[in-house]
Structure 1
């Protein structure tokens, strides 16, 4: 550690002392100034800075600040005088003052000028009123055209305001009861209609006759819907859908042991001719499938693939792809052969 004044390091020959005023560490050589403590009346050894601050006269303000203060004091009161408002006399009074001291001819000229000014003022007021009426008429025409475009009935603003004023009357208890009963009746009709529509849609989807409709009409309607749906689906997708439906029906018939009714047979016109041969082949294949050869997931199709990484489980092609896609795994499969 070194002296705060001369920056020489303290040691055996240079002792460390503290300034009683600022508290910094100094050597004895740097604490050569003495001051009298006003409290104890003792002589204190202080550093140069503390001695200079104590013996120096108090700082004086710069002359620039003093001059600025004097200039501000010598200025007048900056408050502005009050504003006086003079009232202008009326036009009639000004006209009388203007006629005073004039000849008869000059007075007639003044009167003619005044009449012209009145005509100008009336013309300005009439033109302003006409512009206002024109703008209101244009707004009314725009509102009428807008209502016609929306398909609504246009009610003029004057009639609308009059109707509103006529309808503003206190409601009695009978009016409130009638209003709520009408709302309840409307809600019940709406809910009944919604439920009826849902029931009819479910019946059409199931192929069942709805209320007031025979079974033959329901079948013809279902056939119409199926034909319309097939017209929107490509031909290849129609064949796939027919094959899938027939396979599901055969699997259901095999599990239950009961034949399907005649009304569930598929009849789709030209598509039937394209699907006849696959039907026969699938029917024969279903009869020859053994339980051990069925897919391990759907248990409806013949297994064609065997996965060695899945403990030798067998799958059909669709189930194999779907299972490993969901698991996020890539397994190699081998062709499953009948034992």
Structure 2
């Protein structure tokens, strides 16, 4: 929006104010004429047109729009003529409106010779593309079969879609179980055959080595299996006993070998005065109090004296 007198746009510094007599928008500079307004029964600031209309008491009182209003209307609708009393800039505005009107008329009116229909466009496109090569489906299938190296019937055959499944859920479950059982039987049969081949190979290897596995009686084989199982149990028992003995030895260890330790505090390297019974480290009195922890068992100590050097 802009002022209807000076046509300057309204902004933060240029406020929009309305004329109390005519109601049009003006800025504060253009709304500086004082006159008595009867509908307000007071003297207020009005626009220049309202002030001029008051100075002509013989003429009928009609509220006339400002000049900027007519210029805006003319710019929006070029068919509507601009008011002749619009003031400065009327001739230039009229020339611009005339040129705009001529341009619009020239754009809307086109000669009949240049009208193009859809059929003309299709014919032109066809001329540009030229004649389209006609190739039948049989030729395409034969070329495809030659490229793939397969008979023509394989390429031209239509794909066969699987029939819809009309089985119930129970029948589908039974068929799945049946397939699973058949697969299990096949796996078992394959495993048995593989085991038979392995045993046959082992027997032939024993024959080549000079041993006759067939001469071994079943009782001897059972005794051998029992002795192997007993040997395994004995080995496991020995391992368990060894682990228990190591655990007992770890519990019996009270203090580590202190023959090579230095008689200094672990933290500040001062002369050690006490040994922590939790972690077995040497500390001075001050560092032991800082190190003391009830949760880790480092809350007890024993006096320590450095060994005498001979």
Same fold (TM over 0.5): no
TM-score between both structures, scaled by the size of structure 2? 0.18
Structure with more contact order per residue of length (Cα contacts < 8 Å, sep ≥ 6): 2
Higher helix share: 1
TM-score between both structures, scaled by the size of structure 1? 0.17
